[in-house]
Amino acid sequence: MAEQAGQQYVMREGGQVTRGREAQTYNIMAAMAVAGSVASTLGPRGMDKMLVDSTGDIIVSNDGATILRKMDIQHPAARMIVEVAKAQDSEAGDGTTTAVLLAGELLRQAGLLTERSLHEASIIKGYQMASEKALELVKAMAVDVSAKDKAMLKKIAGTAMTGKDTDNAREFLSDMVVKCMDATMEKDANGKYYVEKKNLVLEKKTGGRVEDSRIIEGVLIDKGRVNFQMPEELKNVKVLAMDIGIEAKDTQFDAEFKIRQPGQFQQFSAMEDEQIKAQVDKIKDMGVKAVFTTKAIDDLAQHYMAKYGIIGVRRLKKSDVERVAKATGGSIVTSLDAISKDFIGTAGLIEEIKVGDDEMMLVSKCKDQKVISIILRGTTSHILDEYERGIDDALHAVQNSIIDGKIVPGGAAVEVELGMKLRQYATTIKGKEQLAIEAYANALEIVPKALANNAGLNAIDMTIALKNKHDSKKGINYGLNVYEGKAINMLEAGVVEPLRIKTQAIKSATEAACMILRIDDILAAAEVKNPAGGAPGGM
Ligand code: ADP
Ligand code: MG
């Protein structure tokens, strides 16, 4: 007690100290609460969460990472679990719910062990041994996949997308994802694959059905030509991608220009017109027939451009203009005076198309065939957002499978197999760590249980059915068919996931659980009163 008083003495008044077992209980409960909040979303039959933010915006999602990001979690240990989701998302791009569930369950199991007076140090040691072993085992379970095996890649995409409201469109969307993969994967000088995100752009348009979505080789821009007198379509043309406008030069240096006589104003304005015309002429003289710019195109410039048959598209996102430059083999122009041939790109076809009620520009048949665009259609913006998250997960899953060349069966086949093998491993360990390794094995079972629960199946029956299959060597790839409530061979059923999802989930969940277990005191500083009244730094 005296020590505690001393502790508080060194901290700002109002600070809080929570110690030992009490601190640990708080932390474990917080972590479990986070895991509990996403548990019901796991798997193909998981439910969605509706999140309403402080401005009233609504998100309906099944995606663990998205849900946790939007939840604005405050408790420090709970935030460490949110970090697990973030790490999982950035390293594997999918599997966030699994990783968070595992972290929460590892802590719950640890809590049971501390109640039986097992010291944290033994738990941590045992968890680390179990995690090392689990990584070894899961790698041994993995099967090879090649970038050429499009049928398998489609299955990986399909598995990653399940549950994200995409069920009716899964076939179509997985096909699309595998096609996109060709565009986004590039090989570096050492022949290693890497992902070039810039090559892909996704435009969402409400209205229509998901089957009306399209993949387009080329750059799609969510804007039409600036002036209806400009051509609607051009073939085999030179293209400029610019970060400057076509307008009168900034007059700020000529601020001293004083108009003393009426005629002078006209003179000034004529001078500006001349300037604009000179810029358009320069573009015309280079043979350029299409201009894409981040800035403005003056009315007068539009008039001349239309007259010369040049298409102009203005006020674009920088990333769109960059994509035009990349696809057409040009470079972004920042000054018309410094322009050379190298800046000019070429396109086989430039056209204005109609998507729903909107005009869009499409630059296709380009030098760089890798740049592609997706127009995603769906009935509401919420569905479109969820489709986008599904596509994003699927793209990552396919890409990681190709980069690592390894996949594993889904439907909790991995978790059940690892659990059983870890129990065997535990019997070979003499010390107290044995108990922790068993607890680790128990924790892994949260995955089949959650999959079963979410499908309205009996979790215990299903886990036993799976374990029975895994008892024989032939059953190693058996997972849960959540639709029929039985154990099936997941490789044969085409429910497959990249190895990386599992290795990353094991690593980050173990790390976070151990980190939280090492904490025996929580020293919380007094909240700094914010004079402006705003809440101090949220997530
Ligand atoms: P996460 O955020 O962890 O990716 P998901 O909600 O995407 O969570 O669910 C992933 C889990 O669902 C994995 O265990 C995966 O193997 C399983 N799964 C996906 N498709 C199927 C399927 N068709 N049958 C059974 N399990 C599946
Ligand atoms: Mg997933």
State in Å: Cα 440 to ligand 2 middle.
Answer: 22
Query: What pLDDT score was predicted for residue 539?
Result: 42
What SS3 state is found at 371? coil
Q: What confidence tens digit (pLDDT) does each residue in 293-333 have?
A: 999 999 999 999 999 999 999 999 998 999 899 889 999 99
- Please tell me if the CB atom of residue 390 comes closer than 6 angstroms to any atom of ligand 1: no
- Please tell me if the CB atom of residue 482 comes closer than 6 angstroms to any atom of ligand 1: yes
Q: What is the mean pLDDT of each run of 10 residues along the chain (539 residues)?
A: 51 74 86 90 87 83 84 85 91 92 96 92 96 97 92 93 74 87 80 78 85 85 93 95 87 59 77 90 94 94 95 93 91 89 93 88 84 87 87 90 94 97 95 96 97 95 96 93 94 96 96 90 70 46
Four-residue CA torsion sign, 118, 120, 121, 122: positive
Q: Are 46 and 40 in contact (CB under 8 A)?
A: yes
Query: What pLDDT score was predicted for residue 533?
Result: 45
Query: What pLDDT score was predicted for residue 254?
Result: 52
Query: What pLDDT score was predicted for residue 167?
Result: 66
Query: What pLDDT score was predicted for residue 75?
Result: 85
Query: What pLDDT score was predicted for residue 519?
Result: 84
- Please tell me if the CB atom of residue 95 comes closer than 6 angstroms to any atom of ligand 1: yes
- How far is Cα 263 from Cα 258, in angstroms, rounded to an integer? 12
Query: What pLDDT score was predicted for residue 455?
Result: 93
- Please tell me if the CB atom of residue 491 comes closer than 6 angstroms to any atom of ligand 1: no
Question: CB atoms < 10 A from the CB of 388, how many?
Answer: 16
- Please tell me if the CB atom of residue 162 comes closer than 6 angstroms to any atom of ligand 1: yes
State in Å: Cα 125 to ligand 1 middle.
Answer: 30
Least Cα distance to 277 among 303, 250, 314 occurs for: 303
Active site residues: 63, 96-97, 393
State in Å: Cα 327 to ligand 2 middle.
Answer: 32
Quickly tell me which residue has 């933010």 as its tokens: 53
Query: What pLDDT score was predicted for residue 390?
Result: 87
Q: Which ligand is nearest to the CA of 35?
A: 1
What SS3 state is found at 291? strand
- What torsion do the CA atoms of 431, 437, 439, 443 make, to the nearest 10 degrees? 170
- How far is Cα 21 from Cα 75, in angstroms, rounded to an integer? 17
- How far is Cα 350 from Cα 362, in angstroms, rounded to an integer? 6
Q: What backbone torsions phi and psi does residue 488 show, to the nearest 5 degrees? A: -135, 165
Q: Which ligand is nearest to the CA of 502?
A: 1
What SS3 state is found at 216? strand
Look up residue 172 and give its two tokens. Answer: 């179509």
Q: What confidence tens digit (pLDDT) does each residue in 35-50 have?
A: 998 999 998 888 888 8
Query: What pLDDT score was predicted for residue 251?
Result: 53
User: Given the CA of residue 409, which atom of ligand 1 is nearest to it?
Assistant: 16
Q: Which ligand is nearest to the CA of 63?
A: 1
Quickly tell me which residue has 């972290």 as its tokens: 103
What SS3 state is found at 444? helix
C-alpha dist (Å) from residue 280 to 147, 292, 331, 343, 358: 47, 13, 19, 16, 27
Query: What pLDDT score was predicted for residue 10?
Result: 67
